[in-house]
Amino acid sequence: MVDNMSEKIKKIALLTGGGDCSGLNAVIRAVVRTAILKYNYEVLGFIGGYHGLYADEYIPMTLKTVSGIFHQGGTVLKMSNRDNLFHFPITNDDGEVEYHDVSDIAIENLKKHEIDALVIIGGDGTLTSARDFARSGIKVVGIPKTIDNDVPATEITFGYRTALDHIMLSLDALHTTAYSHDRIMILEVMGRHAGWLALEGGIAGSADVILIPEIPYDINIVARKIIDRYNRGGHFAIICVSEGAKPISGKLTVKKIVEGSPDKIRLGGIGEQIAKQLEKLVQPITGQEIRSTNLGYIQRGGVTNTFDRVLGTKYGAHAVDMVACGEFGRMVTIQNDKMSSVKIEDVVGGGQMGETSKGGARRVNPNGDLVNAARDIGISFGDEE
């Protein structure tokens, strides 16, 4: 790794970490094409996120490598959300798991390949490790990735709009079967800490109730909304709920705990929980059956839409421009529709290595224009009647 910031960049590497989403290949394509065509850089891609950096598993990235990947979901470099090289699980001779800082191995791999800068594409956990590599002297540029659209300091993240399309189309499909059977249909979508997906997807998909993390709900108010709708002639109802939504006096619905993962808690099941509650509160009065569907990983996959192809291109191209200008230890952002950057530490927090900050997540404003517009057209958030 070159220490002198003024020395000319000749070779860069990139990796994708965390969970997949649409638009990743658009970003990869833009990074590679900009690096080669604009700056004549050589590009290496590490396979499987930080694990590839640790295991020295990589492929040369050429114009041919990224040809034909623009529209594809996922990432041609693959990824992992379980490998924190600053807190890496290693089984000792007694069969016990111990955690070690193995980042020095990754750094040696970068030096071996004469990598001058590393472009890291990922969410909160991935960018936290990017921050720690920057502290170790690595020239890092970060690109934010999450379909939840909750990364602070940037207006929108790629993959979000494609996920919204999936949610809208799913709600459209549920709408027809809900109408046909006079049923209450619940769609559970992603959104651990922020309700952007449920909110915008729910509005676009004609939901009658939207439940999001930012507005704790009262299940009795939800029930009364549905009963009132039924009494006014609406014999079916659509509910769109974020996986991170919670009742006013309750807790998050945890599906399972995954030991060894940087983020152990897996949310899920709130749709089924609400369905069971409404069977007791609503079904005896209206006779409606309740069905719940968890959209799950469908939100992350599929063909990338127009918006995310263009957005991913903007993120990837600007990241390479940052490399050329020596803007290291920073993350690409979009503010007021203009490309910019912020310190990675300002995004994930400045605590000790491995610490992750969720306090600054970009969340829905419960009193903002979008929520107010939804309320104006009769959508309930389960908090007022």
Which of the residues are catalytic? Answer: 148
Residue type, 251: K
Inter-residue contact 252 to 246 (CB < 8 Å): yes
Cα 128 to Cα 84: distance, rounded to the nearest angstrom: 9
Q: Residue 93: exposed, middle, or buried by beta-carbon count in 10 A (0-12, 13-18, 19+)?
A: exposed
Listed residue (49, 53, 56) closest to 18, CA to CA: 49
Structure tokens at 260: 């060894």
Structure tokens at 164: 């919204």
Q: Tokens 């798991």 label which residue?
A: 97
**Chain centre distance of CA 33:** 25
Listed residue (173, 296, 189, 174) closest to 241, CA to CA: 189
Residue 364 CB partners (closer than 8 Å, separation 6+): 194, 195, 196, 199, 212, 213, 214, 215, 370, 371
**Chain centre distance of CA 267:** 14
Cα 30 to Cα 35: distance, rounded to the nearest angstrom: 8
Listed residue (333, 342, 336, 335) closest to 315, CA to CA: 333
DSSP type of residue 380: B
**How big is the CA angle at 299 (ends 342 and 371), to the nearest 5 degrees?**
70
* Three-class DSSP category at 3: coil
Q: Residue 113: exposed, middle, or buried by beta-carbon count in 10 A (0-12, 13-18, 19+)?
A: middle
Inter-residue contact 110 to 126 (CB < 8 Å): no
DSSP type of residue 9: P
Residue type, 243: E
Residue 111 CB partners (closer than 8 Å, separation 6+): 1
Listed residue (197, 212, 201, 14) closest to 118, CA to CA: 14
